[in-house]
Structure formats: C-alpha cells, structure tokens
Structure 1
Amino acid sequence: MNAPVTLPDAGPVSVSRVQAWVFRAPIDTPVRTSFGVMTDRPAVLVRVEDPDGAFGWGEIWCNFPTCGAEHRARLVDSVLAPRLVGRSFTSPDQAYARLAGETHTLVLQTREYGPVAQALAGVDLALWDLAARRRRVPLWQLLGADRQRVPVYASGINPELAGERVAECRAAGYRAFKIKVGFDAAADLSVARAAADDLGDGEQLMLDANQAWDRDTALDMVRHLPHERLEWLEEPMPVDSPAADWTTLARASPVALAGGENLADAPGFDQSIELGALSVLQPDLCKWGGITGCYTVARRARGAGRRYCPHYLGGGIGLIASAHLLAAAGGDGLLEVDSNPNPLRRTLAQPYPAVSDGGMTLSGDPGLGVEPDLETAARWQVLHTDRHR
C-alpha cells in the first residue's frame, strides 16, 4: 500500500486572469517515432495572474495529434478558465482537485480524458509557479530541494545518423543519450550496438521503442540488445499490455525497463509502482498531473526504490518545470532534454540554463526563474486566448 504523500505548503492562490498561447515552429527535419511523425514543433503556454498582478507560467503537452495544440488551448479558455477566474484556493493542489472534480462528468461525457488532463496539468504548473513567485523563492526550493543542479540526457535521437547526433550532443555537454527504436528489428539492433560501442567513460545510453513491440517481439529484442551498456529500455510494449506480460518481460530482460509518460492517472502509477516491472518511472508533468500529481508519483517511486526520470518533449516552460521537480525528487534520475532543433525550447524559457558536463543548473530567481520571450515567439504564434474579470 502506498503511503500518503504530503505536498509542500505553497500558500493560497487567487486568479483574476487566464491566458493561453499556441505556437507552431517549422522544422527542416521531421521528428520520427514508431507511431507518428512531427512535421513542426507546437507548444501551448498558459499564464495565470492574480489580482495583485503576480503571475505564473505553465505548459500543456500537445505533440499529437497534429491538430491537438489549438484544441487544448481552447479547452483552457472554455472549460478551465471560467472555473478559475474570480476564485481563490488555499493552495495550487486544492485548485487542481477542485478543477478535476468539477470537470469529471464532462470528461466522462466527452471521453476527453487526455486533452482535459493535459490542459489541467498546464494550469497546475502555472499556479505552482505563481505561488513560488509570490513567496519570492525558486520553485525547486518551494518543493523542498536542496540542490540546483540536475543531470540531463539528450533524447529524441532518430536512428538515421544516430552516431553523428550523439557526437553533436556530446560536444554540446551531454554525457547520456537516448535513441529511438521500434522501426525495424535488424536496424534497431545495429544502431544500438554501434552507439554502445561508441560510448566513452562515464557515458550512458538508453533506447526508446515508443510502445512499438508486442510481448514476444520485446522478449526477443531484449535478448539481443547490448544490455551491458544500456541504462534502460523505454516503453517496449503498449502501456495497456496485461500486467502478466510486463512481469514476464521484466523478469526476462537484462535491461531495466522504463515507462510512465502514457500512464493516465494516479491509480495507474500506483499500480505500476506496486507491480514493479518498471525500474524507471517517467511521468510527464505537462501530460498529466502537473506538479501536484507528479510530485506525489516521484515521492512514491523513490520510496519504492524506483528511479524517477521525468519524461519531456516540448517547449521551454515544461522542460524547466520538469527540472525543478527532479531537483526536489532527489536520487540519480536524469532530466530528458530533446536534442532535435526546436526554437520554442529556448525562446519560451529565458534566460535558458546552459547544459555543461552532463548537467543543468537552475536559476535561483523566484518561481521557474524563466519567462517566455513573447516578442521573439510572435512569428510562430497561431492562437491567443484571454479570460479575465
């Protein structure tokens, strides 16, 4: 049975204004996964403001489907903002619980589980940022962290030219790398072996199959992967595969299994932690839970001896929020930093913290310590909504 987790006391929050922005930045090289391709880089930001003019920023996961970003922003404006503006809450987590409760029947009626949860996660991030800014402390400190620096890894590396991309990431300060697999078994094994052979002292390698294999394929793959040099194998099977299949694979695999970005609620994470098949838990705080939900998951995962490594693939605000939570979670987890070109990563999180010697040092300024450069990002803006009293 999972022990209760007490969230840090963030203090009360009030909301007088809620805004959302959608950005779409063009890219030259599409980002490939086993289930789809990203032909541009979208981002949805949320800004909440209180009656005193204090504010906080959040971000909503919106990578798929292609039309998803605009829809999530409109969910914020039409569903969540009317339930926030003009109200006060004892804490960000109370606001999260109230909004989740008030939208529960709507979610059941529409089956919009994912989009509403993602919009709520972004709002939650913004409220925690607001609370930390009001207290004039960095979010990592409000969350109880005793460190500002977190280890990072370069992710999203496509198998084509993986060697070149790893070399580029190494030169950029990374010491750990994650390569996409799940396309073709022979090609997957070839790229994994080549990358493993190329690792330097102290470097780490991970693979991400993005739910591409069934149980039997996964069992065959783990027998042939260069497991001596792999930190983990991520999402080898669909997240809804039977628990017995996950247990069978975990027992057979010499490589630690990782996952969590596609678990959709607190019971799902609790069940996964209890099952024990995943050695590495990877909730995405822009996809579900925000700080409120993922802080609890991180604490429970660490308490059960699991490694907490937040999943992330988006713009700069969500990335920095993930880093703050990782700092508070402790342990030897790594922050996922997408290695693919994306101008929204730096532009939406200024001043952007540099990566050096395998780590990133967070700001000591209040809240997230970063803000989006909306003037520069205006060229990519496709939608803006605004609700206020």
Structure 2
Amino acid sequence: MPRITALDARVVSYGFDHRPRPLSLGSALRRDVVLVRVVCADGTVGYGESFHGHAGTAVAEIVNSTMREVVLGREPSETADVNREVFARFVLSAGMSGGFLLALSGIDIAMWDAWGKIQGEPVHRLLGGSVTDFALYGGGFTLGFQPPDELAEEVRRMREQSGWQAVKLRIGDSPERDLARIRHVREVFGDELSIMVDANLGHRYDVARVAPALAELGVDWLEEPYPPGSPARFVALRSRGLVPVAAGENLGGAHEFADWIDRGALDVVQPDVSRVGGITEALRIAALARAAGLRFAPHISHSALNHAATLHLLSAAGGEGIFEADGTVENPFRDGVISGGPVLANGRASLPTGPGLGVTVDEEALGRYPGERGSPFPRPR
C-alpha cells in the first residue's frame, strides 16, 4: 500500500449573508472548516475535517507541524497506530490535549478516505458496515431563538423540502420564550413530528426548570443542559426521569465517554467524528453506547466530509443510530465546493457509496473561501 508523503491543513470560511438565528451561544458570523489533506505516494488524496472550536488556524497549525512527525511515512490504513500514538503522547499526558484531539480527528477521517480510495471501496465497507439508509433529524445552524410562528415556518420548510419527521429546537433563551416556541411547534405539527431540544450548554438559566414541561410536550431528548465539566449535574437531572439527557459533542475520546456512561450521566451518546479523534475513536464510543444500551446519535460539524464520515460511522456501528442533518438552506461546504455527502429525502439520509468517503473537494474553487482567524462567534455583550 502506498505510504503518506504529505499532510496539510487549512481553514476555509464562508461568511453568512444572513446570519443564523441566535442560539444560547449567540449568532455565528461565518462557517469555518479546517480542511485536512493526506497525499499518498501513488497520488491518492484523502480529505478530512477537524472541528475548529474558536481557533481554526491553531488546529491547522498542529496538523501542519507536530502531527506531520506522527503521520508521514505511514500507510493510510494505520489509523489505529496513529490514534494510539497521539493519545499516548499528546492527549492523555500533555498540554493542549483538546487541540491535538481535533487535529487527530481530521487526520483520521482523511486517512480512511485515502484508504477507501486506494481499495476502491466506501469506508463503511472497510469497517464491516452494510446499512446505507438512516433515520434523521434536522439540526445544524437552524431553528434558533425566533418568534414561534417564524420557527414553525422554518420547520415546515424542512418537512416540505425533504419530508423530515424530526427536528431539534433550541432552548436557553428564557423559560417562557423557550416553552412558547416548543408548544407552538407541537400544536402546529402534532405528534407526527418528533422534537428534540438543545440547550447548547445552558448558559442563561438552569434548564432543569423546564424539564417537567418538556416531558409533557413529549420531547425526545434534552441536549447539553450543562457544560461538560459538570457530569454530576447531568446525573442528577437524569435521575429525575423526566426527559432523556443527551450530550457528547464536547467530550474528548472514549475514555471520557466511558466515565460519563459509568456515572449514569447519559441517555443519548453524541460524539462528533471531527472532535473525538475521528472515525476510529468514534467507533469505540459507539461500542460503549451499545454495550450500555444507550441511544447513539452522533453530532455533526460543518461540511460534507464530516456528514459523510458520520454516516459511514453509523453504518459500521450497526445502523441503529440517528443522523443529525444540516438544515441550512445554503452551505457551500455541503453541496458546493465540497459536495457528494448524504442524500436527504423522505425523512431519511442515504450514505455516499463512492470510494472512500464518497465526497468531492474542488480545491481550485475553495480559493474563493479564504480562511479567517479567530472565533466565528462574536464576543458576548
């Protein structure tokens, strides 16, 4: 198998013409992607996506410096060895562990993409998966803090566009406004629509206050009610038995998920392949969730690379999870300069079947989206 001869990463950014509705984190100025690339001796190029946090250029620099020592000269199939070295040297025993985990995530996805292309097989087949069609719910930069009637119209657009039967609404604004939005959507669409809610770390008030009302409204789960440094609060909320508790996008690696699962903090396990160490580490987390009898619902990041990698993960994990679909109208990193990810129709997501991830990256056209520095979220007032 040809070895990896080059590794690089760069940030690409898409500034919103119309900023998304605010969440509890605020309203993003732009969509950033840390695009990771491995090049093999035979010319095969594999692509991955690292989540950026609030500093995409810092993540790219880790890929372009320290991580080259780890990756160059290896075969793209050596994902487990790269994972082992990065965790041993940088994640579990040194500073900046979060940045290295993000960098590893994009590299791991790119290695799987390259390996699949060399073998002429989609990634899920290399992983032993066979399921290619999945349940989905609408998420991404959508369904934020807006008047109830406008929120219902956005949900209606999603349903008419692709037949979606489940959506994730945002809370963390105020108890009164949050519940008014959810009640209105429930009244408009009835029980035929599944509703999840996401507090995005619950910055503005203790969202446990609305848990009884969420249970009465038949909410499927309450996501990220608290910051990730407080698992005991998740345990306490879950012990009340009101609404299933979901989290994981801000946890790092299978070791953290194992701790949270052992504590009884989660009903729904939500790793993001662009954050937790890539497909390789996310599969370990899927195994933990399955062994504990918990739901598996991976979080998504910004581009078709992450979306496709997530579906390959779901297939390899047995096909029983649910996919978070990006419901935004325009995303050039989903169906523009980066394309070929999931096909969304009739409330389902279909897996790309081309070699590797099945995603196409137009590197020349990406030049129209130069990367920006710093956080895509403005400083709170």
- Give the structure-2-normalised TM-score: 0.89
2:116 pairs, out of 132, 156, 174, with 132
Helix, strand or coil: the match of 2:158?
helix
Unaligned stretches of 5+ residues in structure 2 = 373-381
Structure-to-structure mapping, 1:180-329, within 5 angstroms: 180-200=170-190, 202-212=192-202, 217-243=206-232, 245-329=233-317
Structure 1 counterpart of 2:345 = 356
Alpha carbons 1:227, 1:255 under 8 Å: kept: no
What is the rounded CA distance, in whole Å, between the counterparts of 1:227 and 1:348 in structure 2? 43
2:369 to 365, 376, 380: 380
Cα gap change, 1:205 to 1:148, in 2 (>3 Å)? same
Change (3 A) 1:296 1:104: closer
Partner of residue 334, structure 1: 322
1:14-56 CA deviation, whole Å, 9 max, x = no partner? Answer: 2101122311111123343313431011111111122122221
Of 107, 110, 117 in structure 2, the residue corresponding to residue 123 of structure 1 is: 107
Whole-angstrom CA distance in 2 between matches of 1:103 and 1:316: 28
Structure 2 CA distance for aligned equivalents of residues 225 and 117 of structure 1? 34
- Which has more strand, going by share of residues? 1
Q: 2:126 aligned with 1:151, yes or no?
A: no
Q: How far does residue 213 in structure 1 lie from its aligned partner after superposition?
A: 5.5
Letter in 2 for 1:114: G
1:13 touches 1:90 (CA, 8 Å); kept in 2? no
CA distance in 2, matches of 1:293, 1:104: 13
Kept in 2, the 8 Å contact 1:21–1:381? The answer is no
8 A contact 1:181–1:188 mirrored in 2? yes
Unaligned runs of 5+ in 1: 1-11, 384-389
Aligned to 2:65: 78
95-104 or 157-166: which moved more?
Answer: 95-104
- CA distance 1:236–1:253, change in 2 (3 Å): farther
Residues in 2 aligned to 1:89 and 1:58: alpha-carbon distance in whole angstroms: 13
Secondary structure of the equivalent of 1:103? helix
Which of 125, 136, 143 is the aligned partner of 1:141? 125
Q: Structure 2 CA distance, aligned partners of 1:362 and 1:331?
A: 11
| Count of aligned residue pairs for this structure pair | 364
Structure 1 residue 363: deviation in Å? 2.4
Deviations along 1:54-99, one digit per CA (max 9) or x if unpaired, are: 221110101x42xx11221121111212332234476211122123
Q: Is the 8 A contact 2:304 2:335 kept in 1?
A: yes
Aligned equivalents of 2:364 and 2:230: distance in 1? 45
* Matched-pair contact (CA < 8 Å) for 2:135–2:348: yes
TM-score by length of 1: 0.87
- Aligned-pair identity (%): 31
Tell me how far apart the structure 2 counterparts of residues 103 and 351 of structure 1 sit (CA, whole Å).
Answer: 33
Say which SS state the counterpart of residue 364 (structure 2) adopts.
Answer: helix
Q: Quick one: structure 1 residues 302 and 13, their matched pair in 2 at CA, closer, same or farther if it must change by over 3 Å?
A: farther
Which amino acid in the other structure matches residue 51 of structure 2?
W
Q: Distance in 1 between matches of 2:69 and 2:319?
A: 39
Contact 2:175 2:207 in 1 (8 A): no
Q: Which residue matches 1:91?
A: 78
Contact 2:199 2:225 in 1 (8 A): yes
8 Å CA contact retained: 1:120, 1:289? yes
State which of 52, 56, 64 in structure 1 corresponds to 2:42: 52
Give the Cα–Cα distance (whole angstroms) in 2 for the partners of residues 247 and 41 of structure 1: 33
Q: Distance in 2 between matches of 1:140 and 1:202?
A: 31
Q: Distance in 1 between matches of 2:9 and 2:243?
A: 41
Task: Report SS of the residue matched to 1:29.
Answer: coil
Tell me, what secondary structure is at the counterpart of 1:44? strand
SS in 2 for 1:38: coil
Q: Is the 8 A contact 2:343 2:351 kept in 1?
A: no
Cα distance in 2, alignment partners of residues 301 and 227 from structure 1:
27
Determine the structure 2 residue equivalent to 1:387: none
The answer on whether the counterparts of 1:172 and 1:355 sit within 8 Å (CA) in structure 2 is no
CA RMSD of aligned residues (A): 2.2
Moved more, 201-210 or 177-186: 201-210
Inter-partner Cα distance in structure 2 for 1:327 and 1:172: 25
The CA distance in 2 between the partners of 1:305 and 1:73, in whole Å, is 36
Please give the alpha-carbon distance, in whole angstroms, between the structure 1 residues aligned to 2:168 and 2:278.
24
